[in-house]
Structure 1
Amino acid sequence: MTRRAAPAPVDDGTLDRTLQALAEPTRRAVVVLLRDGPQRAGEIADALAMSRQAMSRHLRVLRQAGVIHEVGAASAADDARARTYQLQAQPLADLQAWLTDVQAFWGTQMQAFRKHAERVAKERGAR
C-alpha cells in the first residue's frame, strides 16, 4: 500500500470557525457573491434581499471567522453601509486542503475495500 505524505497541518480552531461560519446558507451566499470581487455591505444585503441589520450580523460572523475582511475602512466609526468586504483566501484554502485530505482517505479506503471484496469473491468461487 502506498503511503501518502502527511498533509500540511491545519489549525483545528481556524477550520472549526470557518465551518461554523459557512454552515449557514446566507453566509455561503455572501461568499458566492464575493467571489466576483469586493462589494459594499449594502450591495450584498440588496442582492440577498435582506435587511441591513440582518446582513450586518452575517458579515460580522464571517469577519470574525476570518473568511472575509473589510477593505479600505477608514475607521470603525464609518457608516456600516459603506463598508466594503472581500474574501480572505487562507481560510478557504485551509478548508480545501482538509477536504482534499479527507477525500484521499476515502479513496484509499474504497480501494482497499474493493480489493478485499474481490479476494472474498474469488475465494468463494474457488470452493
Structure 2
Amino acid sequence: MDEVAQAIADPVRREILVMLRDGRLPAGRIAERFQISRPAVSRHLRVLRESGLVRDELVGRRRLYELDPGRLTELADWLAQFARSPGWPNLLDALETEVHRTRRERRIRDAAPRAEENTA
C-alpha cells in the first residue's frame, strides 16, 4: 500500500490514472497531454506499473496502458475505515499537508544538483 500511496502522491501520475479510467491508451497519447518530456512521462508510467496501478501490453509497435484498479481498491478499503470516524476531515487535511511537504522536498532535492552545476 505504501507503493500505491507514493505513486499517487505525484499530480502527473494521478492525471495519468484519470486518463486511463475510461480505457486503454497508447503511451504516445498519454505523453501528448503533458508539457514534460516523453522520457519523463515514461518514468511516471514505470512507477505506476511497478506499483501495480497500471498494466501495459505491447501491441505491434505501440505500448498500451490500462488501469489496474485492484491496488486502488486496497487503498480505498483502508481509507474507508477512517471515513466513519469523526476526525475524517482532519485526516484528509493531514494527508494534503503531507503530499505538499513531499512535493516541496522533492523540488528542493531535485533543484540542488542543478544549482551545483550552475556554480561549477
Under TM normalisation by the shorter chain, which class is it? Answer: 0.5 to 0.7
The one-character-per-residue Cα deviations of 1:65-122 (angstroms, maximum 9, x if unpaired) are 0000113x26xxx75xx20000001111111101111212x23x69xxxxxxxxxxxx
Report the identity percentage.
40
Q: Which runs of structure 2 are paired with 1:51-62 in the superposition (5 Å)?
A: 51-62=37-48
1:31 and 1:68 map into 2 onto residues whose CA distance is: 8
2:7 and 2:42 map into 1 onto residues whose CA distance is: 14
Q: Helix, strand or coil: the match of 2:81?
A: helix
Q: Helix, strand or coil: the match of 1:83?
A: strand
Q: TM-score, normalised by structure 2?
A: 0.67
2:72 to 57, 77, 92: 92
1:67 and 1:102 map into 2 onto residues whose CA distance is: 22
Q: Which runs of 4+ in 1 moved over 3 A?
A: none
1:94 and 1:55 map into 2 onto residues whose CA distance is: 25
1:93 and 1:48 map into 2 onto residues whose CA distance is: 27
2:14 to 25, 28, 33: 28
The structure with the largest alpha-carbon Rg is 1
Look up the match of 2:4. 18
Give the drift of 1:48: 2.1
Identify which range, 49-58 or 30-39, moves more after superposition: 49-58
Give the drift of 1:47: 1.6
Query: What is the alpha-carbon root mean square deviation over aligned residues?
Result: 1.8
Gaps of 5+ in 2: 89-120
1:27 and 1:86 map into 2 onto residues whose CA distance is: 13
